[in-house]
Chains A and B, each alone.
Chain A
Amino acid sequence: MASNIDMISLLQSKFGEKIQIQPGVSGTASIVANNGLHHDVLAEMIAADEKTGIVAMTGLDFGQTLGVYYHVRTAKPFFTIKAEVPKADPKIRSVVDIHPGARFHELEVTDLFGVVFVGNEYDGHFVLSENWPDGVYPLRKDVDPTKVKLVPTPEREANLPAEGRQVKIIIGPQHPALLEPEKFSVTVDGETVTKVEPRIGYVHRGIEKSTESRTYLQDIYLVERVCGICNPAHAYGFVGAVEKILKPDVPERARYLRVIALELNRLHSHLLVLGHAGLEIGYETVFQYFWRDREPIMDLIELTSGNRVYGSLITVGGVRRDITAEQIPKIKSVLNDLRGKIPFYRKIYLDEPTIRLRMKEVGILSREDALKLSVVGPIARGSGVDIDVRKDIPYEAYGEIPFKEIVYPDGDVWARMNVRMDEVEESLNILDYALDHLPSGPIRVDVARSVPVGEAVCSLEAPRGELFYFVKSNGTDMPERVKIRTPTFANIPSFLKTAIGESIADIPSNFVSLDPCFSCTDR
């Protein structure tokens, strides 16, 4: 496994003066590789380290040129490969041929910035709505997208027989199995799925653009509303990136309180999807049981943050609310109640025949494919890839808290759900440890309202997998660019692959095993 020093010296010996490497903090480095070299640099990194994957791609507008940043994950540190293309002729070589997981990232940059990736062209819109005019790219700085006049147009596609025996079935945007509006066109031959085409963008609200016209403090509340389920993770992602530029001295107690907020969130999110999976396979008892036991956790979130869903606990410089000594025994007794129920639930997910019939050997994603598509979170860990940001790049107090990284080698729906089941127990352990070892002291420091010029990335393990934030500041109190790469966005390609060749009846259970969240995907 290549360490960070190896990678930098390897690239230097290979490319020499043609690329510029600027080492950053804690092992990160940015690599300026223009004139098509980004492709070769990435190929070299993939050859050197099998865990290399594209975490996110950020488009930027520098005025005369457009920037494309490839945020690359290796076994440990982060690298950013930077490339620039002239705005007049924004063409760049696609990296899909060496890393298929980059496909969606490139399409998104095409749609929002107008960069053409040679080798991965796309006809139509990817995240923008169908009626969005061609040639207008909302995230470019010289475009005021609110001035664009749109008239809602009817959707074009209908249920039509495809060639021969093949039939196209459209799932969504309003469908009983989907809580959110999103469309999947599934082509079937008999009952076997031969093709799945997604159409995302039904929940695209333009959050990345609107962060640029709000202050950092307002942005925390805005980015939390990317997702109503994993909102503390989004708040931390943004705050973490801003704090890497501002460098405030975050108090020790706040670092533990943040872990408590993030783990309570993971607990309720995992219970939610473990129940929801039951609903999707027609096992409603499981759904009712898990959601019944999720409610006490929601009460704890309300107790610690002040609200059931949007607590807005995490802020730049610390947290906004403390946990008092009287609250700790109450929190612990609720957690203990849940711990007592775990063996029963574990038995359901391990052995129950209904679960095994619908989940075992369904939607198998091999380890190689998981790495190639750079999937994250429980999907990757269910396929035997041991990536967990909490272990790989410990943030906040995670480096001091002992916990196990859960990995199942099977790669099927059953493995992914059992990863979550085991993580519920690990979350309880982390919470117990954090509550026992809560340091004393202040919970927040004052920070400046304006952020100096700089750029930073922050990645963290949200309930659905690695969540990635990129913040570029320009010295004012508003950010220049905020990029959000959410876990579901990274995981959808794996569904498109695993659904093929299986029965159409397996689509719900396969799909729910991603724990899909489209409000995250579309932003």
Chain B
Amino acid sequence: MTDTKTWARVKSPWVLHFNSGACNGCDIEIVALLTPKYDVERFGIKLEPSPRHADVLLVTGCVTQQCAERLKRVYDQMPQPKFVVAIGACACSGGVFAGNYNTLGGVDKVIPVTAYIPGCPPRPEAIIDGVVKLLNAINPPKQKKAVEA
């Protein structure tokens, strides 16, 4: 049964996007993932509007004071097991806005983060790579036995 659940999760992860104070650079690249050139739906990845249906939370932005509480609330609404991917330099560490009066600097100040994708903004290919690495970490691909010579 656990195997089936993992299989379903890895084959079709539903992702939720939350902007915690980003400049739109990363956000537009996430939307670009859904469009014909990158088309992440071929990996079964589906952008989902409700946190209650999502497996993976994609967070962009440096986490402003005003967004922090809401980010935590969105995370709490997601069912277990849940994974958080911090996308972009701001989400990883606060980026260029680190130390400003209204920012907390990094998603991991508020909620636990599973994977970090750096870049300002990361290229769509980098985001795909990050998400696929996350999926491989959830369900490691079986190693083929080495054929003895």
Asked whether, in the complex, the Cβ of A210 is within 8 Å of the Cβ of B24, the reply is no
Pick from A128, A146, A174, A226 the residue with the most CB of B within 10 Å. Answer: A174
In chain A, positions 266-313 with a C-beta closer than 8 Å to chain B are: 272, 287-288, 291-292, 294-295, 298, 308-310
- Which of B31, B70, B100, B101 makes the CB contact (< 8 A) with A179? B31
The residues in B between 60 and 96 inclusive whose CB is less than 8 angstroms from any CB of A are 61-62, 64-70, 72, 74, 95-96
A360 CB to nearest B CB, Å: 27
Give chain A nearest CB distance to B51 CB in angstroms: 8
* Partner among B62, B65, B70, B96 whose Cβ is within 8 Å of the Cβ of A150: B65
State which size class the interface on A falls in.
35 or more
CB neighbours (8 Å) of B103 from chain A are 205-206
Instruction: Tell me whether A203 and B29 are in contact (CB under 8 A).
Output: no
Judge if A38 is at the interface, Cβ distance under 8 Å.
no
Expressed in whole angstroms, the minimum distance between the Cβ of A107 and any Cβ of chain B is 16
Number of interface residues of B (CB under 8 A): 43
- CB of A403 within 8 Å of the partner chain: no
Q: Are A146 and B25 in contact (CB under 8 A)?
A: no
| Contact across chains for B19 and A206 when beta carbons are under 8 A apart | no
At the interface with chain A, which of B3-11, B32-40, B131-139? Answer: B32-40
> Who on chain A is nearest to B30 by CB?
A179
State whether the Cβ of B23 lies closer than 8 Å to any Cβ in chain A.
yes
A152 within 8 A of B: yes
- A175, closest chain B residue (CB): B49
**Closest B residue, CB atoms, query A272:** B28
Decide: A209 near B100, CB < 8 A? Known: A180-B24, A228-B23, A519-B22. Answer: yes
> Is B27 in the interface zone, CB < 8 Å from A?
yes
Q: List A contacts of B18 (CB < 8 A).
A: 174, 181
A221 in contact (CB, < 8 A): yes
Residues of A within 8 A of B68 (CB): 152
Contact status A203-B22, CB under 8 Å: yes
C-alpha gap A368/B71 in the complex (Å):
41
A residues adjacent to B (C-beta < 8 A)? 128-132, 138, 145-146, 148, 150, 152-155, 173-176, 179-181, 201-207, 209-210, 221-222, 225-229, 231, 272, 287-288, 291-292, 294-295, 298, 308-310, 517, 519
New contact pairs (6) apart from A204-B21, A206-B102, A229-B28, CB-CB < 8 Å: A153-B69, A204-B64, A204-B102, A206-B100, A221-B96, A291-B35
Nearest 4 interchain pairs by C-beta: A228-B25, A145-B101, A176-B49, A129-B65
